A and B are shown apart, each in its own frame.
Chain A
Amino acid sequence: MSIKYGMVIDLHQCVGCGSCALACKMENNTQARAHGQSFNWADFIMWTEGKFPNTTYVQMPVLCNHCSKPRCVDECPVTPKAIYKTPEGITIFNEERCIGCGACLDGCPYSSQKLDASSNEGSSYSVISFNPFKKSVHPEWLDSESAIPGCTSSGKEVVAAVGSIPPTVNKFYSGDYPPVRNKGIIEKCTFCYHRTVVGEIPACVEACPANARIFGDLNNPDSPVAQALESHKFTRLKEEKKTEPNVYYIRSYNDPTV
């Protein structure tokens, strides 16, 4: 059987620390939030329920669900598709073919064209982000102003000193999506295709200190992901949209007895 990559997030293990999202930003060189785009390929939703002192709190890591029936792919109008499924079931994007129409954002049940303030409290998120046509990417690194002229540096000076934008750019190779995306295209989680294609695990999985993220082949019954789904009840986000997400959640964030 062919490989079908998926991820299981064990909410009992997850402590909500944020390491996964930070590691993702470093690995994939995503820029800082701007223009209603979070550029967080990995993000979180959270909510509080109940009344003091019977208060409960839940945090859930979210990312592209790499759906088996991806609306984003359906909606992509170019041919061949700019956003498409790899043979391993990963939803990736091709920068050359992407025309920046934003149709994928409309199709995706987990994305919105523009995020509002509710995303700052973890009530909304977007797994696809769009790099606006007329706005610089990583603009802070083009800035030549400094806090104390002649004494403190500037974004531009740091870039001149290290030779890249952003200075921390991780220069992976991909013929589809470059390490830093250009203006006018979308970007999203690739399940770290550039890593997983050579057998490595995604950066968020590797960095998770809680061992809450399990990545692997859903079609292989011996894989840790398949095993996790075998032994636990699971949920998927927005199951009702019938996109067949391949990111699963098991156990409970706040009830250790589950």
Chain B
Amino acid sequence: MKLNRRKFLQGSAAAGGALVTAAMTPDASAKRRKAQPPKPKPAAPGKGKWLPTVCQGCTSWCAAEAFIQEGRVVGVRGHHLSKSSGGYLCPRGHLGISQMYDPDRIKVPMKRTNPRKGRGVDPKFVPITWDEALDTIAEKMIALRRNNETEKFMLMRGRYTYCRDVIYDALPKIFGSPNNISHSAICAEAEKFGSYYTEGYWDYRDYDLENSKYVICFGGDPIASNRQVPNAIRQWGKVLDQATVVAVDPRLSATASKAHEWMPVKPGEDSALAVALAHVILTEGLWSREFVGDFKDGVNAFKVGNTVDADSFDEKLTNGVVKWWNIELKDRTPEWAEKICLVPAEQIRRVAIGFGKAAPNVMCWMAPGAAMQPRGAYGALAAHALNGLVGAVDNKGGTLQKMSAKYTHIPMHKEKFKPYLDGIAKKGLKHKKIDQRGTLEFPSLKKKPGGGVVTNRAADGILDESPNEIKVAIGYWNNFVFSATGATRWERAMEKLPFFAHIVTNPSEMTQYADIVLPASFHMFERWGLVPSKYNRYSYIGLQQPIVKPLWDTRIDETEVVWMLAKKMKEKGFPNLFDYFQNEIKDPETGKTAEDEADFAKIVVKVMTERQWNPAKYHSGERINGWQEFLRIGLWQSDQYPFKKKWKKGFKTTTKKFEFYSETLKKTLGQHAQKHNVSIDRVMEVTQYTGRGEQVFVPHWEPAKYHGDEAEFPFIFMENRSRLSREGRSQNLNEFYEFKKVDPGDNSHMDVLKINPKDALALGVKNGDWVKITSPEKSVKAQVKLWEGVRPGTVNKSFGMGHWAYGRLAAKDYGKHMARGFNNNELLPADYDRLSGSTARHAVSRVRIEKI
């Protein structure tokens, strides 16, 4: 090519001559070349305006702004007023633009014309009108009401804005189905379990990075993924300067690559490491006297193997430190832990002492890697409890809860829309949920037993018709066929569903099973929504507005579609849902009800954010003077989170203290056991934990539980989140592939299985070789990459690729349902942290690797 182009130059003197300024002879040009370089011509930046929105490419939910030129989005940034992000976005935000302009987006409603459903079966979709689409769905739903079987309707929710009140709450309840199933338990519920059963807080914690002196990232990679990524990135240089950073991660994550210490824990043995850290903090006398208390005689009796008299300790703001020591910690030495978690004892001791000495302005940032495992509830409890030991809870530089961001639910939300429930609905609502929450095997504890969701179990519920059959389902912004482990169960469950309507932007895996597909407006730039979030000590509510005209004939999933569906159902003789909308949801300023679906979507957001924009309803935080101003700014922010307030007010636990010995867990688990008329130990046995007796109520070591035995499946499979993956939705974008290499160890344009070179040598595989990787669930093919960032005996792959639908870039062959790379969730068997109902996606399976 090089030669050709040179040849071109020589051979095209005539053409070249036209390009050379006519007035110049070669001689003159030679002189001028030295004397006078060309002058740059005038230039100016692109013109446009910045309009506010919210990015939902992960659960950080960052307030953002889009640069609009001629009605097109051409750039994004963090919201310039955001006190959380400082005006920055992580790379995911930038990918949002291409996601909207994705050529494979669905532009009109469609219906399947091939009744056969399955992977590899062309649904033969054809375009239809919105009227026909909604008529079909309404007809199916009304048939359930005619047959008095409304419980056979199911609503599946994936990513969402808080307009979910309409589709997730009002729709199923007024219709009469208990089966609104959220995605939450495939996300990070086990994490929330960790903070709930210690400090009574069922939510993601905030972390005061700015003031921290020691940061343990326990199973998380905050500069790459989930959560508060832009804040973590912008603070990280300072954090590395002022604090010691430790990354607990089986692989050399982005955070580990920049940390002071990397603790490459054996996947699934996080709880062993955490209890050993706790052991050292106590034996070294580094616990917080102010938060935890002290021995009455001032002499540390926490000596290896020594049982301590509870009366000898004067405990302050915590509950059961001595019990925790006696029940679990006294023998959990670093040497003991090293054998289990494979982190050197010396390093465990060093980190525990460093952490304890730097306390209390330190944090143990507990994250899904340590929690979303079989038995992960205890990893979450143990890692989070370290914060309690050193007084880092609710403290400067430590782990925080959140400021209130009081949005307003839609009317009658609290009373569960009772005035609009008829006899059929009331009967339907009495049925049990399809995800089997609250059964003996799935305690799914939240504030009460069965209070949480077991998302992934819904596939089995559908397949086994347990507790009942599902005949009609609607799913929105979700893709469980791709995003849930044991993915093939979802393929079968979706095949079985007699009628499924999917509201979605792209023809995803789940869409392939749909009877009706409704094209959704894209969240960042095309829709109405309100999104509350928090980080960096501020809570906020961000607005999503249609800041550009929707590209296609799309509607907003959570509001517009439901309004249209309600209207259809009214026409067909079931008026309650539409009447509820018309009678109760009114524009707070004009008192008018919605004239059409677009109007409705806007009014819902206006109602739900009234405390933020209406000075007469002011609650707290920033003052915004009216709806118009709120539309312009698009962001409300709270006051700054104050430290140590909970130290004075108490925690929302049974004891009002930070619980090492969780009376709260004892109570809730007791209720569950009682409901099923068994002992708590029996519950633990059925739910596959090893802890028994008093151990159940303290953070303790739960051994890893892998599918597959070591002899047959010698490697442990571990996955990670890509910094470019928008929850599995960016894989139809060029940029995702082009820059995939920014995930440490990964290659661009590939879906590499990373393996330690030592293991590769033993297997006789080299870079780029194809291997067969087999779990007890499935065999798939992968291309290997030799990398020293993974522990021998483990293999690692990013989650995200392996789509067999979603679009022509995402799939290797969209029409033939051929996957590009492989989806980790097909390899991983479905298993759970049953106490929280969470799907285990880390440390869940062993695999075999064979050269092919």
Q: Which of A162-170, A215-223, A232-240 faces chain B?
A: A162-170
Contacts of A78 in B (CB 8 A): 16, 19-20
CA distance A92 to B67 in the complex (A): 25
Interface status of B591 (Cβ within 8 A of chain A):
no
A55 with B788, Cβ < 8 A, contacts A21-B739, A106-B2, A143-B103 known: yes
What is the chain B residue whose CB lies nearest that of A45? B741
Whether B105 sits at the interface, judged by CB under 8 Å, is yes
**B728 contacts A by Cβ under 8 Å:** no
Q: Does B146 contact A (CB under 8 A)?
A: no
Q: Which B residues lie within 8 Å of A100 (CB)?
A: 5, 8
- Knowing A13-B237, A15-B223, A148-B507 are in contact, say whether A172-B46 is a contact too (CB < 8 A): yes
For A105, the closest partner residue in chain B by CB is B2
Instruction: For the complex formed, measure the closest distance between the CB of A131 and the CB atoms of chain B, giving whole angstroms.
Output: 12
Complex: how many Å from CA A101 to CA B789?
Answer: 42
Check A18–B240 contact: CB distance below 8 A.
no
- The answer to whether the Cβ of B631 comes within 8 Å of any Cβ in the partner chain is no
Quote the shortest CB–CB distance from A69 to chain B (angstroms).
13
Residue of A nearest to B40 (CB): A86
Instruction: Tell me whether A209 and B38 are in contact (CB under 8 A).
Output: no
Binds B, one of A1-9, A189-197, A241-249: A189-197
B717 within 8 A of A: no
B73: chain A residues at CB < 8 Å are: 168
Cβ of A116: which chain B residues have Cβ within 8 Å of it?
none
Q: Are A162 and B71 in contact (CB under 8 A)?
A: yes
Separation of A50 and B756 alpha carbons in the complex (Å)? 12
Smallest CB separation, B92 vs chain A (Å):
9
Whether A66 sits at the interface, judged by CB under 8 Å, is no
Within 8 A of A (CB), among B9-61: 9, 12, 15-16, 19-21, 24, 26, 29-30, 32-33, 37-47
CB pair B45 A172 closer than 8 Å: yes
Shortest CB-to-CB span from A34 to chain B, Å, is 10
Query: Which residues of chain B are within 8 angstroms of A194 by Cβ–Cβ distance?
Result: 43-46
Identity of the chain A residue whose Cβ is nearest the Cβ of B223 in the assembled complex: A15
A26 touches B97 (CB 8 A): yes
How far apart are the CA atoms of A206 and B76 in the complex, in Å?
Answer: 11
User: Of the 9-residue stretches B257-265, B401-409, B611-619, B690-698, which lies at the interface with chain A?
Assistant: B257-265
Selected contact of B237 from candidates A10, A55, A85, CB within 8 Å: A10
Q: Residues of A contacting B252 with CB < 8 Å?
A: 48, 55, 57
- Contact, CB under 8 Å: A254 / B5: no
**B contact residues around A106 at 8 Å (CB):** 2
Contact of A207 among B94, B240, B264, B723 (CB under 8 A): B94
Residues of chain A within 8 A of B262, CB atoms compared: 53, 55
A122 near B741 with CB under 8 A, answer yes
Residue contact A79 to B46, C-beta cutoff 8 Å: no
Per-residue interface assignment for chain B, residues 58 to 101, with 1 indicating a CB less than 8 Å from any chain A CB and 0 otherwise: 00000000010111111111100000010011110111011001
Q: Given A17-B723, A79-B29, A194-B43, do A209 and B738 touch, yes or no (CB 8 Å)?
A: no
* Contacting residue for A200 out of B45, B264, B747, CB 8 A: B45
Which of A38, A121, A151, A154 is in CB contact (< 8 Å) with B747?
Answer: A121
The answer to whether A256 touches B260 (Cβ under 8 A) is yes
**Is A180 positioned at the interface, with any CB of B under 8 Å from its CB?**
no
Residues of A within 8 A of B152 (CB): none
Any A CB within 8 A of the CB of B577: no
Q: Which residues of A contact B47 (CB under 8 A)?
A: 171
Contact, CB under 8 Å: B69 / A170: yes
Interface of A is mostly: loop
In the complex, chain B residues whose CB is within 8 Å of the CB of A166: 101
| Most chain B beta carbons < 10 A, residue from A55, A81, A179 | A55
A residues in contact with B707, CB < 8 Å: none
Query: Which residues on B sit within 8 Å (CB–CB) of A150?
Result: 108, 126-127
The CA of A169 and the CA of B71, in the complex, are separated in Å by 12
Least CB distance from B680 to A in Å reads 39
**Residue contact B97 to A44, C-beta cutoff 8 Å:** no
The stretch among B200-208, B228-236, B434-442, B818-826 that forms the contact with chain A is B228-236
Among A40, A79, A157, A175, contact of B24 (Cβ-Cβ < 8 Å):
A79
Q: Which residues of A contact B12 (CB under 8 A)?
A: 99
The answer to whether A256 touches B241, judged by C-beta atoms less than 8 angstroms apart, is: yes
B792 contacts chain A at the CB level, 8 A cutoff: yes
Q: CA separation between A59 and B37, bound complex, in Å?
A: 36
Within 8 A of B (CB), among A3-37: 10, 12-13, 15-19, 21-23, 25-27, 32-33, 36
A168 touches B104 (CB 8 A): no
Contact-size category for B: 35 or more
The reply on B310 being an interface residue by CB < 8 A is no
Partner of B742, one of A25, A44, A81, A193: A44
Name A19's contact: one of B94, B237, B756, B758 (CB within 8 Å): B94
A10 to B236 Cα, complex, angstroms:
12
**Contact between B40 and A26 (Cβ–Cβ < 8 Å)?**
no
Q: Is the CB of A153 within 8 A of B107?
A: yes
Contact indicator B104/A32 (Cβ below 8 Å): no
Residue contact A153 to B103, C-beta cutoff 8 Å: yes
> Within 8 Å CB of A146, what residues of B?
103-104
For B47, B104, B734, B756, the residue with the greatest tally of chain A CB atoms inside 10 Å of its CB is: B104
Contact: B72 with A77, CB < 8 Å?
Answer: no
B91 touches A22 (CB 8 A): yes
- Cβ–Cβ contact A46 & B44, under 8 A: no
Whether A212 sits at the interface, judged by CB under 8 Å, is: yes
In angstroms, Cα B331 to Cα A8, docked, is 51
A interface footprint on B521-558 (CB within 8 Å = 1, 0 otherwise): 00000000000000000000000000000011000000
The answer to whether residues A158 and B237 also contact, given A15-B223, A80-B37, A170-B46 and a CB cut-off of 8 A, is no
Assess the B756–A52 pair: CB atoms within 8 A. yes
- On chain B, the residues within 8 Å of A153 by CB distance are 103-105, 107, 551-552
Q: Which chain A positions have C-beta within 8 A of B71?
A: 162
- Complex: chain A residue closest to B740, CB-CB: A120
- Expressed in whole angstroms, the Cα–Cα distance for A257 and B245 within the complex equals 11
Given A23-B75, A121-B747, A148-B507, decide whether A99 and B741 contact each other with a Cβ distance below 8 A.
no
Q: Check: B280 CB closer than 8 A to any chain A CB.
A: no
Q: Which B229-256 residues have a C-beta within 8 angstroms of A?
A: 230, 233-234, 236-237, 240-241, 245, 252, 254
Residue B852 at the chain A interface, CB threshold 8 Å: no
* C-alpha gap A99/B104 in the complex (Å): 36
* Given A113-B1, A194-B45, A209 and B90 contact (CB-CB distance below 8 Å): yes
Chain A residue with Cβ nearest B72: A162
Q: Considering the complex, give the chain B residue whose CB is closest to the CB of A88.
A: B40
Please tell me if the beta carbons of B9 and A40 are within 8 angstroms of each other in the complex: no
Measured in the bound complex, the distance between the Cα atoms of B447 and A34 in whole Å is: 54
Cβ-defined contact, B742 with A120, below 8 A? no
A164–B734 alpha-carbon span in the complex (Å): 18
Complex alpha-carbon distance, A18 and B90, angstroms: 8
When distances are taken between beta carbons in the complex, the residues of chain B under 8 Å from A172 are: 43-46
Q: Please report the C-alpha to C-alpha distance between residue A209 and residue B94 in the assembled complex, in whole angstroms.
A: 12
Report the minimum CB–CB distance from B31 to chain A (whole Å).
Answer: 10
B160 within 8 A of A: no
| C-alpha gap A254/B248 in the complex (Å) | 16
Bound CA–CA A164/B74 (angstroms): 11
| In the assembled complex, B625 has its CB within 8 A of some CB on chain A | no
B745 nearest in chain A by CB position: A48
CB-CB under 8 A from A46, the residues of chain B are 741-742, 744
B750 interface hit (Cβ, 8 Å): yes
Q: Which A residues are in CB contact (< 8 Å) with B245? A: 256
Q: A17-B224, A153-B105, A176-B40 are in contact. Are A79 and B45 (CB under 8 A)?
A: no
B724 within 8 A of A: yes
A-B contact pairs, 25 of them (CB 8 A): A13-B237, A17-B91, A19-B89, A21-B739, A36-B1, A44-B741, A48-B789, A50-B788, A57-B744, A77-B9, A79-B33, A86-B40, A99-B9, A101-B8, A121-B747, A158-B551, A171-B47, A172-B44, A173-B46, A174-B41, A175-B43, A206-B77, A207-B88, A209-B233, A210-B236
Given contacts A27-B75, A44-B741, A153-B551, 16 further A-B contacts (CB under 8 A): A19-B93, A19-B94, A23-B94, A44-B742, A46-B742, A57-B257, A105-B2, A147-B814, A151-B107, A153-B107, A161-B552, A162-B72, A171-B74, A175-B42, A210-B234, A210-B236
